Structure 1
Amino acid sequence: MKENMIKEIKRLLSEQHVSSHVCNTDIESPGPPSVSYGQNTVLVQASRAVDMSYTTEKGRYVTTSIDIQAGDTLIVERPYAAVLLPEHYLTHCHHCFGKLNIVYPCCQCVQVRYCSPSCAEGSWSQYHRTECHYLQLLHSVGIAHLSLRIVLVAGLKFLTSIMSELESRSVDPSIAGLDANGRYCRSYIAVHDLLTHLEDMSPVDVVHYTLTAQLLLKVLQHSGWFDRCGDITGSESTSKGNSPSSMTGQHKSVGDYIGGLLLRHILQLVCNAHAITELQYQDSGHAGLVEGKNQVRVATAIYPTASLMNHSCVPTIISSFQKDVLVVRAVKDVPMGGEIFNCYGPHAKRMGYTERQRCLKEQYFFTCGCEACLKGVEAEMVLHAYRCSGCDGPTCEDIDREPGTMVCRQCGATCSLDRTQMLEAERLFNRGYQCLQENRVDDALQNLQKCLELQKSLLYRNNRKLSETQDCLARCHATKGQFHQASKYIEESIGTVVINYGQESIEAANEFQKLSEILINAQEWNRALVANQKAVHIFEMNYGQSHDSVKILMGAQNELSELIKALKI
């Protein structure tokens, strides 16, 4: 009986890699976490551990009011408004962006779907009643669709009620966005007071955005949005004793005002929009073994509190999402008074210095002076370095010498780059990867093994290309059921991934999870448990205990622990 039980546990564990991501969407989420240290009385969607600060050079930004630790939850924020991307209409709720299990379609169009009647009703009453017949047009304007959504969520009645206030007030930039009670809330005022960067934009772009705002205003007029709220405007006009003829002029004034708000929000979104993402698995075509994960953009949103954080190419935080709720956690310790940095996209571990600077200047209009950028290209050269034939150290091109001249950073020796050999390694990798995609595993192994052998003779041991080849070889061996060999390649890859992305990066966690799944299939239970625990630690620090990846791995961890106890190993 005991032997049968052990066999059954082994079978379940060996299937863990197959079922874990398939069941991912069926796990019931407990809801967003609470912020660490209690709620902030000013930044009401943030922790008491942070403050809003201001200088004329930086504008508003976020600092720590106490010492914070990696893993602390600093912001839990619902968006003021958000728009689901069209490619996810069939799989996600149009209102809350949750994965669809039971589908409630829109009663007026065939494109939009919801997860519940409450989401359908909320969407219809807030914005979809207006947008329903114009979706194809709105898809064509890109991020400007979110500008329209902001106006619809705010509502004409509210926007006309603050029309005079917005047009006449002068705002102290240090307290912009605060309400009458001195709080920075999930409010229209907080969105309205975000910077537009109008002075930084090219005239051509401004004209384009202005025409787009005019188009969105026409959508509001043609949809009957102003007419549906006519009783609001009409009652105001009647109470002031205005005649019907004077109402036409007032209506035009309100239209111009709304058009101006649409343009303002388009300008703001260029720099302040956030991508809502979810972790999705790449299908390798074989039982889920050694699969990769990607953060896939699902929606675009505006989060006023998160927008206060300045950029660093080596950020202080990591963002994750539970449906449309943004959860911001610290990924490193920050002393009291230190600044909290977000990454606007160009991350030092994933993008080179020159490209980062170009992207930030083009979209966000500043030159980054973060820790990574101050080091320039020199610090990241090692991650793309070649191997010194004399001392095995990192060899990089010396820009002050003849093109192609390589200098070892360790021993100082010079050599020339063998471009023919590098092109051959690249050709072997591309051929091997294509064979793997076509499930021609033996051909893939042959090409990738030759590629790795050549790469090891040419590339420095921490070069990212080595880990890419090793990962593909692990997939090949796992596909053939050669799990011990697959685990060796993943272990080799982990060292390079850690050097490139960091010991507690998501990339490292993904590698440890792959290793654990392969070791389960190799029936190396203790090693599988250790790798699993490392993955859990990293995912939990970055995403919290309620994240699907953490819950899946914890389930596997419990099963492994029970098996090890049963086997007494």
Structure 2
Amino acid sequence: MSDSNFSCQPLLDKLTHVLIKTNRIEDFTHLDSVEKKLCFCLSKEDIKYDEETFINISFVKKKDEEALKLYTEGLKHAPYSSPIIPILYGNRSAVHFENNNFEECLIDIERALKKSYPSELLSKLYKRKIETLFKLGREKESFEVLQSKKELLSTSDEDKISKFLQDLEKNVQLLKLDDQTQSDNLKEYGNIKLFREENSQQMSGALKIRVNNIDGRHIRADCDIPKGSPLFKEKPFASILLPEYFATHCQNCFALLKNPIPCDYCCDVFWCGEKCLEEGSEFHRYECSYLHILTSVVFNLISHFDKAVPEDQFQYCLAAIILAKVLTEKTKFLSPEDANEKEIPPKVDEETFVTICSLLVHHISQLVSNAHAITQLEANSTSVSLNQTKQNRIATAIYPLASLMNHSCLPSIINSFNGSTLIIHSIEDINKEDQIFNCYGPHACRQQRKERQAALQQQYFFQCCCKACTDDKLLIKEKSWNGITCPSCGKVSEIIEEENGSPFSKETIISCETCGTLPQKILNQYFESVELQEEGEESLKNGKPSEAEIFLTKALNVGKEIYVQNNSFLNIVRDDLAKCYVIQGKYIDALKLLDVCIKTIAFRYGKESVEVGHELVKYLDVLQYMNPCQAAEKRRDIEDTKTRIEAIFTTNYGKYWKNYLKIYI
């Protein structure tokens, strides 16, 4: 079993099952404090866990991306101070060089040298360093290394060395890489202008914290705030990368890994560079080798200890005990002054241990109830896909200031991230004394009311009473997303799953909410349209756009007979069909379909929503695919689309939105 698959949850579930089966759950329930409940858990046999170590050195001949992955995997599992580590860095640098990743190549060369690269192979490594510096346009540095290492280089390379000298003397102008790195762009993007002077933890001066019996602590506007205004820029009090992203993102800054450095002592953590390695190691030293245990304990728990059922409270206590055991018996967390010593401090007394457990129960409750998802935008492989970009949750963090905002299924703000820094803008005009609302996950434009209410009740233990959950007009609008038109009364109804949660089948009886049972023909047409759409997508995947066009055109025609105009399924079909048209060069036909898609998305999400913005980017791409004669006729359309994209994304993400979204128009 690898560490990445390790989970404590089955252990917690099994112990909880034993507690119920032995009728000891009643004893646990009657205890009136967290401390007493922890002592109850500790009175039983100590919780034990087994850790299996998986070491697998991958060292193969380079095959581009596959080789990079294997060399990185080898670095991850190599024992500390193993002589293979510098060789792996050296070999990975060679793959980077062949793929023109010269910056990454140079970094890996320096790492290999720092880790004592074998002397018999040094000439090859320094030759690669000289060539890499030369390719980067750093001719002077290349020349200096060449002069200092001339004797080291093998005689078989004399001709190449001579050519290098000639090229350097003539100062050959090479194509230079762009020195404006992503981090520089993000630094510029992060230089956001707020109402107060800037610092790392900041709330706009246009906001104020209020407290009352109904809303609790919350945030209101202290003046009129126009849409697009920056409201928060806040670094997390604490944050952690989700386990499924350990191998792909930096443990410190959460950046996507390009040329990672693994932890020397465990197989869980990667860093994007030396700076993050230095910063992150200060905290990682406490969790090193046990991170998979710590994360598996926390991420499966529910929130609100005092409102949780006894079985869940019992799991909270067990989780806290496991965490406390790791911290006190396996780390120097309680004695950082002795962090450099090899010996683990002596076991703490029971009273101190229970106190630590109590604090952990409290913080776990805070984490699950107040944690904020850190997301990154991921682009689709094609610019004419229904969802051109999607947000992936990569980490969880605590933002104390932002956590003061109450929930609404129709929030007045939007979040974006510069690494782990949370940046919040208003997405609507806010009047003085209006409350500022965030969305805790269930959004009125993405989920229907019943689904949202269930999710909020399960995790946060409250019933939402925002406008989206109480306005019947919005409920009717929600129905149109999956709505069908009743042929008898013309009202909007829905085809939904059965009450037991199982999908409906061709034998399902469906009915109109207004006038009663719908004709079976409606359900038959529904299945026909879905099957045609699936066949069309399959044809697209198989590289048969003309065949896909036939299936999708039929699916659209059948769907139009039963669905309301703004039904999301029709948009899926239109989007797929537009892709068929683009592949076949039928750009005008594609634009007509995408124009309908934009209007449907605007109906659901709003005319200035980011969803409309991404759809407009797709529309602009198709405009720019056209030949010069066609594009000339659409020049006004192109400029208008660019203007609209600029306005939407500036409102939602600020003037540096291109750096954040990685969209350049």
TM range (shorter): 0.7 to 0.9
Amino acid at match of 2:311: V
Deviation of the 1:278 alpha carbon: 0.9
Offset at 1:446?
1.7
Deviations 1:173-231 (A, max 9, x none): xxxxxxxxxxxxxxxxxxxxxxx732221111111111111111111123232564476
| TM-aligned CA distance change 1:108 to 1:67, over 3 Å | same
Instruction: Tell me which residue corresponds to 1:301.
Output: 397
Q: Could you tell me which residue of structure 2 aligns to residue 264 of structure 1?
A: 362
Query: Which residue does the alignment assign to 1:432?
Result: 536
Match of residue 137, structure 1, among 293, 308, 319: 293
Contact 1:388/1:460 (<8 A) preserved: no
Shift of 1:503: 0.6
Name the counterpart of 2:380.
282
Quick one: distance in 2 between partners of 1:431 and 1:94?
Answer: 42
Q: Does 2:418 correspond to 1:322?
A: yes
State how 1:4-43 maps to structure 2 within 5 Å. Answer: 28-29=185-186, 30-39=188-197
Which one of the candidate residues 289, 304, 329 is aligned to 1:197?
304
Cα contact 1:277–1:296 (8 A) shared by 2: yes
Alignment partners' CA distance in 1, 2:518 and 2:454: 31
CA–CA separation in structure 1 for the residues paired with 2:181 and 2:510? 49
Q: 1:507-527 CA distances to partner (integer Å, 9 max, x unpaired)?
A: 111110100000011233332
Q: Distance in 2 between matches of 1:24 and 1:479?
A: 34
Q: Out of 633, 638, 648, which is 1:528 matched to? A: 638
Evaluate the alpha carbon distance shift between residue 424 and residue 280 of structure 1 in structure 2; reply closer, same or farther with a 3 A threshold: same
Q: Are 1:273 and 2:387 counterparts?
A: no
Partner SS state of residue 573, structure 2 = helix
The alpha carbon displacement at 1:71 in A equals 0.5
The CA distance in 2 between the partners of 1:91 and 1:532, in whole Å, is: 33
1:106 CA drift (Å): 2.1
Give the 3-state SS of the residue equivalent to 1:493 in structure 2: helix
Contact persistence 1:316–1:330 (CA under 8 A): yes
Q: How far is 1:141 from its partner?
A: 2.3
2:616 matches 1:512:
yes
Relative distance call for 1:289 and 1:205 in structure 2 (3 A) is: closer
The aligned counterpart of 1:345 is 441
Q: Give the aligned partner of residue 490 of structure 1.
A: 594
For 1:478, the aligned partner's letter is V
Say whether the 8 Å CA contact 2:268–2:289 is kept in structure 1.
no
> Shift of residue 405 of structure 1?
4.2
- 1:421 alignment partner in structure 2: 525
Conserved in 2, the CA contact under 8 Å of 1:506 and 1:538?
A: yes
Q: Secondary structure at the match of 1:45?
A: strand
For residue 625 of structure 2, what is the amino acid of its counterpart? N
CA contact (8 A) 2:298 2:319 kept: no
Does the C-alpha gap of structure 1 residues 398 and 295 become closer, same or farther in structure 2, counting only changes over 3 Å? Answer: closer
Kindly indicate whether the alpha-carbon contact (under 8 Å) linking 1:539 and 1:549 is maintained by their aligned counterparts in 2.
no
SS in 1 for 2:526: helix
Letter in 1 for 2:463: T
State the alpha-carbon separation in 2 of the partners of residues 372 and 518 from structure 1.
35
Q: Does the residue aligned with 1:133 lie in a helix, a strand or coil?
A: coil
What is the alpha-carbon distance in structure 1 between the residues aligned to residue 584 and residue 528 of structure 2?
A: 26
The residue identity in structure 2 corresponding to 1:395 is V
**Does residue 210 of the first structure (1) align with residue 317 of the second (2)?**
yes
Q: Distance in 2 between matches of 1:289 and 1:396?
A: 28
Matches within 5 A, 1:322-471: 322-376=418-472, 377-387=475-485, 394-396=491-493, 404-406=510-512, 416=519, 418-471=522-575
Conserved? CA contact 1:39–1:48, under 8 Å: no
8 Å CA contact 2:372–2:398 kept in 1: the answer is yes
Q: Kindly indicate whether the alpha-carbon contact (under 8 Å) linking 1:405 and 1:415 is maintained by their aligned counterparts in 2.
A: yes
**What are the ranges of 5 or more consecutive residues in structure 2 without an aligned counterpart?**
1-179, 340-344, 497-508
Letter aligned with residue 134 of structure 1: Y
The aligned counterpart of 1:14 is none
Q: Which amino acid aligns with 1:141?
A: V
Work out which of the residue numbers 55, 70, 75 in structure 1 matches 2:212.
55
- RMSD, aligned CA: 3.3
CA distance in 2, matches of 1:352, 1:27: 41
2:612 match: secondary structure: helix
Q: Structure 1 residues 226, 132: CA separation in 2 closer, same or farther (over 3 Å shift)?
A: closer
Match of 1:3 in 2: none
Equivalent pair of 2:376/2:391 in contact (CA under 8 Å): yes
Amino acid at match of 2:190: P
* Alpha-carbon shift at residue 550 of structure 1 (Å): 6.9
Q: How many residues in Structure 1 have an aligned counterpart in Structure 2?
A: 460
Counterparts of 2:435 and 2:297, CA distance in 1: 35
Is the Cα contact below 8 Å between 1:104 and 1:115 reproduced in 2?
A: yes
Q: More displaced, 381-390 or 97-106?
A: 381-390
Distance 1:88 1:404, change over 3 A: closer
Distance between the aligned counterparts of 1:32 and 1:252, measured in 2?
Answer: 47
Contact 1:71 1:329 in 2 (8 A): yes
Conservation of the 8 A alpha-carbon contact between 2:377 and 2:661: no
Residue aligned with 2:203, SS:
coil
CA gap 1:419/1:117 in 2 versus in 1, 3 angstroms = same
User: Which of the numbers 67, 71, 96 marks the counterpart of 2:228?
Assistant: 71
Which letter does structure 1 place at the counterpart of 2:641? A
Deviations 1:480-519 (A, max 9, x none): 2322222111111111111011111111111101000000
Instruction: Say whether residues 1:472 and 2:569 are aligned partners.
Output: no
Deviation at 1:35, TM superposition (A): 5.0
Q: What displacement does 1:394 show?
A: 5.0
Distance 1:356 1:502, change over 3 A: same
1:227-256 deviation line (CA, Å, top 9, x unaligned): 644769xxxxxxxxxxxxxx9897544332
Aligned residue type for 1:396: S
Structure 1 position 426, deviation (Å): 1.4
How far apart in 1 are the matches of 2:235 and 2:614?
28
More displaced stretch, 258-267 vs 332-341: 258-267
Tell me by how many angstroms 1:128 deviates: 0.8
Task: Describe the shift of the 1:335–1:512 C-alpha distance in structure 2 as closer, same or farther (beyond 3 A).
Answer: same
Question: Structure 1 stretches of 5 or more lacking a match?
Answer: 1-22, 148-195, 233-246, 557-569
C-alpha separation between the residues in 1 aligned to 2:607 and 2:467?
A: 18
Separation in 2 of the partners of 1:220 and 1:26? 34
Q: Is the 8 A contact 2:287 2:331 kept in 1?
A: no
Q: Distance in 1 between matches of 2:605 and 2:532?
A: 26
Aligned pair in 2 of structure 1 residues 491, 390: CA closer, same or farther (>3 Å)? farther
Mapped contact 1:46–1:76 kept (Cα < 8 A): yes
Query: Comparing both chains, which one has the higher relative contact order based on Cα–Cα distances under 8 Å and sequence gaps of 6 or more?
Result: 1
Please give the alpha-carbon distance, in whole angstroms, between the structure 1 residues aligned to 2:349 and 2:276.
Answer: 32
Shift of 1:292: 1.6
Contact 2:298 2:364 in 1 (8 A): no
The 8 Å contact of residues 486 and 493 in structure 2, kept in 1 or not, is answered as no
**Rounded Cα–Cα distance in structure 2 between residues aligned with 1:231 and 1:130:** 12
1:24–1:548 contact (8 Å) kept in structure 2: no
